[in-house]
Structure 1
Amino acid sequence: MTNETKKHSIETLSARAVRGEISRRQFTQLAALVLAGTPMLLRSTGAFAQAKQLVLVNWGGDAITAYDAAYGQAFTKETGITVKMDGSGPTEGAIAAQFKSGAPTWDLVDVDPFSAITLGAQGMLEPIDYSIVDKKKMREGFGWEHAASTYFFSYVIAYDS
């Protein structure tokens, strides 16, 4: 991991902490991993790359349990490949940092379609192979080149007069 990548990662973590997306404690832990973890990874052997697992990152909380029950366990049962759930949140900055590092640790990201379109256009996400993924099982209009919607949500602006 280059110093520039480390700096960008720390800046991204800092912004998430300021927005309240992660606690100060989480910031400290993640920053320590960014700054101290690199030497350990550089000394690791090829066995690290041979791990039979996929890492799926989403926004944490109940989503970890739900995604594991809906996708992870079934995939592991069918393929024997473990699906590790990561609840650290796939922000555009975090995805870009992983891509630019040249050694991303996430395999699947729960990212909104708008971010997927932006990152995909920059070559940071691989397109979905719809010869493998059955697009007929998706709600029509919700399967994009770099994203597939698995749930719906909205933002509501309200106020108490």
Structure 2
Amino acid sequence: MKEKQEFLEDALMVAAERMKRGRLSRRGFNAGLAALMGSAVMGAARRAHADTGRVVVVNWGGDAVPGFQKAYAGFGEASGLELLVDGSGPSEGAVKTQVNSGAVRWDVCDGEMYSAYRLGRDELLEALDYDVIDKSLIDFGDVHDHGVANYTYSYVIAFDTEAFGDRRPTSWKDFWDVETFPGKRTLYRWMSANLECALLADGVAPEELYPLDVDRALAKIEELLPHILTHWATGAESQQLLRDGEVAMGQVWNTRAALIKEDTGGRVDWTFDGGIISPSVWMVPKGNPGGAKAAMDFIAYALRPEVQVKLMEAYAMGPVSAAANDLLSPELALANPTSPENFGKQVLLNNKWHADHYGETLERYLALIGA
């Protein structure tokens, strides 16, 4: 859960940085803030009742609140419904509490895909109406009765070109190879994608990753621990570590990797080779206050290719639709995890496996790294 919150907040920081660098207009960035200022206060979202004429979308807070307002600002005009964004975080526990108490506050959740599988199995989510939602638009990520992919991002390899001469790492095996590619490393402090990276480094073929061999993955991570300077906690920290030369190689979000390359004039480069694509999800709590139709209408709107493009333009969150990819500029296509030239180099994270094993595996991972 914390991983999603940190990534969304970081994506908005990236957008602000892009604006400073002249790659995003101030007018475009501020549109979301203006939309938020013009909306009712957050408390109104919590007092919503059935068929209110509004849709309350919950994400993980911070700058992600105005960010969603910006990306989905056209929903009101398209639907006649008011959009409110709640940043209190759709954790599994919160969804369970609301549904079981009959006091549901949210209509649509931007959650973890593996949570959608679990909550759906527990009959805590509305079944999605695929007569309203066009599931044919989903080319990358999960589609099931209780959840549908909404955007993607990748965990990629970034590296200091001056540390390795003419050699360029192109795999997680290279990332673990401290003899050929000497220098300190950094990994994300949470488990997301780390087990997959470790197994790929240990020679497991991408098509044979799942079910994950947790013992083997943790042993491989333990092998690298003496060479890990730190486990980064924020995107800004990962950027600083590579920019300042504190580490020679890092596992980072693709959104940050692009900024690091720009920061350093290409001294730090990065690759989608071996990247782990993580799809997020739209899901609807059972008994949502605005009614099932309003929730389905919002999801259908958010999945329109042109709306997915708006999200990519501002925050580099990759589309889940090939049709959206076709609308991207050449520059954005290069940075898009799901572009044809990038997708085939990567592995799509298997959320069904994480739905069944995440909790106990995370405890073992955090104990290993001392977090």
Which bin holds the TM-score, normalised by the shorter protein?
0.5 to 0.7
AA matched with 1:143: V
Aligned-residue CA RMSD (Å): 2.8
3-state SS of paired residue (2:52): coil
Shift of 1:122: 0.9
In structure 1, distance between residues paired with 2:144 and 2:62: 26
More strand, by proportion: 2
In structure 1, distance between residues paired with 2:136 and 2:120: 22
**Which is greater in Rg?**
2
AA matched with 1:105: R
Q: Larger RCO: Structure 1 or Structure 2 (Cα < 8 Å, ≥ 6 residues apart)?
A: 2
2:62 maps to what in 1?
61
Task: Tell me, yes or no, if the aligned pair for 1:113 and 1:144 is still in contact at 8 Å.
Answer: no
Task: Tell me, yes or no, if the aligned pair for 2:119 and 2:125 is still in contact at 8 Å.
Answer: yes
In structure 1, distance between residues paired with 2:126 and 2:120: 7
AA matched with 2:68: Y
- Closer, same or farther: CA 61–136 of 1 in aligned 2, 3 Å: same
AA matched with 1:100: N
- Closer, same or farther: CA 49–144 of 1 in aligned 2, 3 Å: closer
1:121 maps to what in 2?
121
**Percent of matched pairs sharing the same residue:** 36
3-state SS of paired residue (1:76): helix
Task: Tell me, yes or no, if the aligned pair for 1:59 and 1:89 is still in contact at 8 Å.
Answer: yes
The answer to whether the aligner puts 1:160 opposite 2:253 as a matched pair is no
1:20 maps to what in 2?
none
- Closer, same or farther: CA 70–143 of 1 in aligned 2, 3 Å: farther
Show CA shifts across 1:73-124 (max 9, x none): 2221112211110011000000001101112111101111111111111110
Shift of 1:141: 4.4
3-state SS of paired residue (2:89): coil
- Closer, same or farther: CA 122–74 of 1 in aligned 2, 3 Å: same
Show CA shifts across 1:7-45 (max 9, x none): xxxxxxxxx9xxxxxxxxxxxxxxxxxxxxxxxx9xx9x
- Closer, same or farther: CA 76–121 of 1 in aligned 2, 3 Å: same
1:4 maps to what in 2?
none
2:88 maps to what in 1?
88
3-state SS of paired residue (1:148): strand
In structure 2, distance between residues paired with 1:50 and 1:146: 21
2:271 maps to what in 1?
none
In structure 1, distance between residues paired with 2:98 and 2:49: 17
- Closer, same or farther: CA 156–48 of 1 in aligned 2, 3 Å: closer
In structure 2, distance between residues paired with 1:63 and 1:138: 23
- Closer, same or farther: CA 50–132 of 1 in aligned 2, 3 Å: closer
Q: How does 1:94-133 map to 2 (within 5 A)?
A: 94-133=94-133
3-state SS of paired residue (2:111): coil
In structure 1, distance between residues paired with 2:149 and 2:66: 18
1:75 maps to what in 2?
75
AA matched with 2:229: D
Structure-1-length-normalised TM-score: 0.63
AA matched with 1:63: A
Task: Tell me, yes or no, if the aligned pair for 1:54 and 1:84 is still in contact at 8 Å.
Answer: yes
3-state SS of paired residue (1:69): helix
Structure-2-length-normalised TM-score: 0.29
In structure 1, distance between residues paired with 2:63 and 2:144: 25
Task: Tell me, yes or no, if the aligned pair for 1:112 and 1:147 is still in contact at 8 Å.
Answer: no
In structure 2, distance between residues paired with 1:139 and 1:93: 30
